[in-house]
Amino acid sequence: MGQQATDKLQDPRPELIDPFGRAVTYLRVSVTDRCDLRCVYCMSEHMTFLPKKDVLSLEELDRLCTVFIEKGVRKIRLTGGEPLVRKNIMSFIRGLSRHLEGGALDEITITTNGTQLERYAEDLYAAGVRRINVSLDTLIAEKFKDVTRWGDIQKVFDGIKAAKEAGLHVKLNAVALKNFNEDELIPMLEWAHSKGHDLTFIETMPLGDIDGDRNDQYLPLSEVRKTLSAKFTLTDIPYKTGGPARYMRIEETGGRLGFITPLTHNFCESCNRVRVTCTGQLYMCLGQDDQKDLRAALRASEGNEVLSEAIDTAISRKPKGHDFIIDRDSKSTPVSRHMSVTGG
342 close to 207: Cβ distance less than 8 angstroms: yes
Is residue 98 part of an annotated ligand binding site?
no
Query: 55 phi and psi, to 5 degrees?
Result: -90, 135
Angle, in degrees to the nearest 10, between helices 58-70 and 89-96 = 20
307 close to 297: Cβ distance less than 8 angstroms: yes
Classify each residue of 145-184 as buried b or exposed e, where b means 16 or more C-beta atoms within 10 Å of its C-beta: eebbeebebebbbbbbebbbebebbbbbbbbbbeebbeeb
Is residue 65 part of an annotated ligand binding site?
no
What gap in Å lies between CA 106 and CA 26, rounded to an integer?
10
Is residue 111 part of an annotated ligand binding site?
yes
8 close to 85: Cβ distance less than 8 angstroms: no
Is residue 41 part of an annotated ligand binding site?
yes
What gap in Å lies between CA 71 and CA 13, rounded to an integer?
7
Is residue 171 part of an annotated ligand binding site?
yes
Is residue 264 part of an annotated ligand binding site?
no
- DSSP classification of residue 130: -
What are the Cα distances from residue 327, in Å, to 180, 204, 232, 260, 330? 19, 12, 30, 19, 5
Is residue 142 classed exposed, middle or buried when 0-12, 13-18 and 19+ CB atoms within 10 A define those classes?
A: exposed
What gap in Å lies between CA 318 and CA 316, rounded to an integer?
6
E-state strands within 228-271: 234-236, 246-250, 255-260
Is residue 247 part of an annotated ligand binding site?
no
Is residue 271 part of an annotated ligand binding site?
yes
Classify each residue of 281-308 as buried b or exposed e, where b means 16 or more C-beta atoms within 10 Å of its C-beta: bbbbbbbbeebbebbebbeeeeebebbe
The alpha carbon dihedral of 149, 37, 219, 182 has a sign of positive
Is residue 274 part of an annotated ligand binding site?
yes
What gap in Å lies between CA 117 and CA 323, rounded to an integer?
35
Is residue 275 part of an annotated ligand binding site?
yes
Is residue 81 part of an annotated ligand binding site?
yes
Q: What is the Cβ-side half-sphere exposure of residue 162, based on CA atoms within 13 angstroms?
A: 19
Residues forming the annotated binding site?
28, 35, 39, 41-42, 77, 81, 111, 135, 171, 205, 268, 271, 273-275, 285
Pick out the residues of the known binding site for [4Fe-4S] cluster: 35, 39, 42, 268, 271, 285
Q: Which residues are annotated as a binding site for S-adenosyl-L-methionine?
A: 41, 81, 135, 205
Q: Which residues are annotated as a binding site for GTP?
A: 28, 77, 111, 171, 273-275
